[in-house]
Amino acid sequence: MRAAIYARYSSENQREASIEDQVRLCKVRLTREGWSVAATYSDRAISGSQALRPGYQKLLQDVRSGRVDVVVAEALDRVSRDQEHVAGFFKQLTFAGVKLITIAEGEITELHVGLKGTMNALFLKDLAAKTHRGLRGRVEEGRSGGGLCFGYDVVKELDARGDPVRGGRKINPAEASIVRSIFTSYAAGKSPRQIAIELNAKGVRGPAAGEWGPSTINGNAARGTGVLNNELYVGKLVWNRLRYIKDPDTGRRVSKLNDISQWVVHDIPELRIVPQELWDRVKARQSTVKRDTRPDLDTGTDKPFWERRRPRFLLSGLAKCGVCGASYVKINARLFGCAAARDRGTCTNNLHIRIGNLEAAVLDGLSNRLMDPDLFKVFCEEFHREVNRLRMDDNAELIAQKADLEKVERRIHKIVEMITDDDAPIRALKDELRALEARRTQLEAAKAKAKAPQPLLHPNLAELYRRKVSQLQAALQYPKDREEAFELIRGLIDQIVLTPAKGQLEIEIKGQLAAILELCDGARKAKPGTVSGAGLAEQLKMVAGVGFEPTTFRL
């Protein structure tokens, strides 16, 4: 028996050695059973309420590929604490013929899945309630309810018994100076984007030692996120503004805004960083800035109007910067540019492109390659040959059935004539007649259901193909077909990388569309009947400057 060991610990009061302890217990069981260790899988400091764990997913992959005969864990809650995940994991193992055994429960059955899954779900719910209650008690004492805010340091304290007292904070002078400079710059008229670029240019590290961006500074006023909306900077602690719920589709936590009646607010004047006069000036300017302040309740950030709409352009959301890997985003109503270069000033790629030109380059490349004369000839020959062959086979079957029916009817007519003779073997003829009539009924039914013979393809179909391909881009403008066409083509593209090259943007397509274009290139040199898509590279490079003015990309 090839046994796989799975071990996991969460970040809740557990330690690194917990993995080794679990593995040691499982190996003792394996030794007693005489099983061999096929592999060991582990996830460290990851909650059992989510399935997006590297070790867990690798274990599932090996189970499906038949590399494991039995899975051993310390307890069922090590595999998962989520009812749905436990049931799904057990179902996967059952389908693969793999047993699940734990040190605590023994061999897992449907009964364990139902009972333990429910118990684990209740445990998580109870743990969340107790944690929330404990955090509220800490906030009522004027301490932080969790998370370190930029501008402050953690204060490590011990109570009379020597136990740590959590939630203490003190002002970090260096970071506090940066916070005040941000408020001052914004009140003076600078935009969050301009402030972020200046901070990054000076090498000033942001929260969690990351780069500064407009959203880090501006945040969301309704949710109290972002430097400019953090009321702790004026000595006011606001807790329970948001609640977090796990998205069942992605397994990620999504924040939701609580009703204001559920907020807990305390004044902590000793933690004030920003003077009230400066805070009021910032709030006054925010109220005059014309922007869409409606919060996106799924992400907790303000999104421009165009980002809340469905993809309006064919390649929206697929373009990435080839220099830093950041997304190419809208910088105005028509132009796309590198988000890192525009918002953070941390990328050197300042070339812009009209989304219409990008789409035209990709679609023209597709159309031109599909219209290549050599490829066109190969397509026509192979398509006609194969379709006509299939249709001839279908027609031949219909002809054979018709001939068989005529033969049966002639034989029936002959038998009827023979029965009238005095010397005819009546019983044998009647038996044959019954069989023939049954066969005739069968053939007539098949004839009634059969479609009319399909005509063979006319060579002029090639011209239809040429006309359709040449109209590919124009066809995407019809409202009736636009949405479906968008989804089909976008499904063929994983990513489009835009990289500066001699003052132009080089387009690199990644995904199945690139493989199709590569196939088109290879078809010109291939003999009819030998074209194959197997083993194709899934990326292809084009130059956006072809057919466009270079200055277009700098608008």
Which range among 220-229, 275-284, 317-326, 484-493 has the greatest average pLDDT? 275-284
Residue 525 has φ and ψ, to the nearest 5°, of -95, -10
pLDDT in tens, 319-333: 889 899 888 888 777
pLDDT at res. 147: 73
Which range among 43-52, 161-170, 363-372, 471-480 has the greatest average pLDDT? 161-170
Tokens representing 508 are 């690199």
Summary mean pLDDT of the chain: 77
Angle (nearest 5°) at CA 401 between 399 and 405: 115
Q: Parse the chain into domains and list their residue ranges.
A: 2-132, 152-299, 304-389+459-555, 390-458
275 band by pLDDT with thresholds 50, 70 and 90: very high
Tokens representing 436 are 């023939």
Alpha helices in 420-544 (DSSP H): 426-449, 461-470, 472-475, 479-490, 512-523
Q: Tokens 């003190």 correspond to what residue?
A: 170
100 band by pLDDT with thresholds 50, 70 and 90: very high
Q: Which tops the pLDDT comparison, 548 or 21? A: 21
pLDDT in tens, 158-172: 878 888 888 888 999
Q: Tokens 């005040």 correspond to what residue?
A: 180
pLDDT at res. 63: 92
pLDDT at res. 539: 41
Whether residue 533 has pLDDT greater than 70? no
Beta bridge partners of 237: 266
CATH of domain 2-132: 3.40.50.1390
pLDDT in tens, 438-496: 888 887 887 777 665 555 555 565 566 666 666 666 666 666 666 556 666 666 677 88
Percentage of the chain exceeding pLDDT 70: 71
Q: Are 7 and 42 in contact, with CB atoms under 8 Å apart?
A: yes
What's the rounded mean pLDDT across residues 42-48? Answer: 80
pLDDT at res. 450: 65
Which range among 115-124, 220-229, 503-512 has the greatest average pLDDT? 220-229
pLDDT in tens, 402-438: 888 888 888 887 777 777 666 667 777 777 778 888 8
Whether residue 401 has pLDDT greater than 80? no
Distance CA 323, CA 317 (A): 17
Q: Which tops the pLDDT comparison, 367 or 425? A: 425
pLDDT at res. 136: 79
241 band by pLDDT with thresholds 50, 70 and 90: confident
User: Which of these, 447, 405, 413, 404, lies nearest to 433 by C-alpha position?
Assistant: 413
H helix count then E strand count, the chain: 18, 18
Tokens representing 186 are 């914004």
Cβ neighbours for 322, distance < 8 A, ≥ 6 positions apart: 349, 497, 498, 499, 500, 506, 508
Whether residue 143 has pLDDT greater than 70? yes
Beta bridge partners of 238: 265
Concatenating the DSSP letter of every residue in 46-93 gives: --TT-S--HHHHHHHHHHHTT--SEEEES-HHHH-S-HHHHHHHHHHH
Tokens representing 393 are 């086979």
pLDDT at res. 435: 83
Q: Which tops the pLDDT comparison, 399 or 293? A: 399
The domains spanning 2-132 and 152-299 adopt the same CATH topology: no
pLDDT in tens, 378-399: 666 776 777 767 767 666 677 7
Concatenating the DSSP letter of every residue in 302-337 gives: B--HHHHSPP-STTTTTEEETTT-PBEEESSSSEEE
Distance CA 187, CA 200 (A): 20
Q: Which tops the pLDDT comparison, 162 or 282? A: 282
What's the rounded mean pLDDT across residues 129-149? Answer: 78
Tokens representing 407 are 């033969």
Q: Are 257 and 299 in contact, with CB atoms under 8 Å apart?
A: no
Beta bridge partners of 257: 242
Residue 243 has φ and ψ, to the nearest 5°, of -125, 155
How are beta strands 236-239 and 264-267 bridged, if at all? antiparallel
Distance CA 498, CA 495 (A): 10
Q: Which fold has domain 152-299?
A: Hect, E3 ligase catalytic domain fold (3.90.1750)
pTM of the model: 0.49
Percentage of the chain exceeding pLDDT 90: 18
pLDDT at res. 521: 57
Cβ neighbours for 343, distance < 8 A, ≥ 6 positions apart: 193, 196, 197, 213, 214
Whether residue 555 has pLDDT greater than 50? no
179 band by pLDDT with thresholds 50, 70 and 90: very high
Query: Is the dihedral angle over the CA atoms 189, 195, 197, 199 positive or is it negative?
Result: positive
